[in-house]
Amino acid sequence: MILTVTLNTALDLTYRVPALTPHASHRVTHVLERPGGKGVNVARVLGALGHDTVVTGFAGGPNGAVLRTLLARCPVRDALVPIGGNTRRTLAVVDDTTGDTTQLNEPGPTVTPEEWSAFLHRYGELLPAAEAVALCGSLPPGIHVGAYAELIRTARGAGVPVLLDTSGEPLRRGIAARPDIVKPNAEELAQLTGAREPERAARDARRRGAHAVVASLGADGLLAVTASGLWQAPPPATVKGNPTGAGDSAVAGLLSALVDRLPWPDRLSRAVALSTATVLSPTAGEFERETYERLLPQVAVQTQAPAA
């Protein structure tokens, strides 16, 4: 099975309004509730691809209960650890006139030391059965900034390949623990390394400890810098749509191809086809299987000179 970790899960709400006007009153025409947080999104995509997928992390309070009810309808297994606090909400307000989204993210509950210990115990129980583990998203209040580094060391000790998708100081500390893959976006990579040029920044991130760096570059697709080479995988076509969840779909594609023991170019094809299908989907963060399968053979991965 594939294990995804989401320490800061969220109940994702989407509101549609005819037009968002600050300081006015709005009638919401459509409400959507989804289980969220990056690792949960990754797991939903993996489950849709047919992988046996387990979700862990934290959930609590009334929002956590709704999240778990919604998660039970997804093709993933729920191994979330209960907490006393109320799981945060995130709200995406979609303006039907412009198609733009305004995002409002609650801060999330504070996790206690006892809850963190309970999680470490659960994580240790789950790892032996995992073919790969993904550590995704921000850290909630109460969790020490080196938490991902700790989880990476445990996974590596258990011989489980580990992918890290986070930002800021948790990414910096995590990379030093030598994860198999990190998947920053251009902004996160620049923030980490100080280099704005993606290839240079990705090489720098490898020197800091990551075995492979897969950078998501928006409309330019993915750039992978690994021990065995450097690849660029642009989207198969110029796509217009909602980029919400495209990065999480790319992570799912990388993990899916990793456990299927595919070489790097095929991993990138899968990741790019999935993230492009997600952008094209009318529902944010979802993808249509048919679109993914149509796009997959169209992704042209470009090999470049081996990484230094």
- Name the site residues for a copy of itself (rule: CB under 8 A): 15, 17, 20-29, 31, 62, 65-66, 69, 91, 93, 95, 98, 100-107
**CB-nearer residue toward a copy of itself: 210 or 246:** 246
**CB-nearer residue toward a copy of itself: 91 or 259:** 91
Which residue of the set 12, 204, 248, 260 is catalytic?
Answer: 248
> Which residues, 6+ apart, have CB-to-CB distance to 297 below 8 Å?
none
Find the shortest distance in angstroms from Cβ 33 to a copy of itself: 9
For 222, 267, 287, the CA distances from 292, given in Å and listed in that order, are 16, 14, 7
Neighbours of 89 (CB within 10 A): 18
Find the shortest distance in angstroms from Cβ 74 to a copy of itself: 18
* Measured distance CA(89)–CA(105) in Å, rounded: 7
Strands 212-216 and 181-182: parallel
Find the shortest distance in angstroms from Cβ 29 to a copy of itself: 7
User: CB of 181 within 8 A of CB of 214?
Assistant: yes
Q: What is the dihedral of CA 263, 269, 275, 280, to 10 degrees?
A: -160
* Measured distance CA(42)–CA(259) in Å, rounded: 14
| Residue 248 among the catalytic residues | yes
**CB-nearer residue toward a copy of itself: 139 or 213:** 139
Neighbours of 132 (CB within 10 A): 22
> Which residues, 6+ apart, have CB-to-CB distance to 211 below 8 Å?
178, 179, 180, 181, 226, 227
The two structure tokens encoding residue 138: 């921000």
The two structure tokens encoding residue 162: 């580990």
**CB-nearer residue toward a copy of itself: 11 or 181:** 11
Find the shortest distance in angstroms from Cβ 65 to a copy of itself: 7
**Which among 230, 36, 232, 253 is positioned nearest to 134, based on CA atoms?**
253
* Measured distance CA(61)–CA(96) in Å, rounded: 32
User: CB of 105 within 8 A of CB of 90?
Assistant: yes
**CB-nearer residue toward a copy of itself: 69 or 112:** 69
**Which among 271, 272, 199 is positioned nearest to 239, based on CA atoms?**
272
Residues labelled as active-site residues: 248
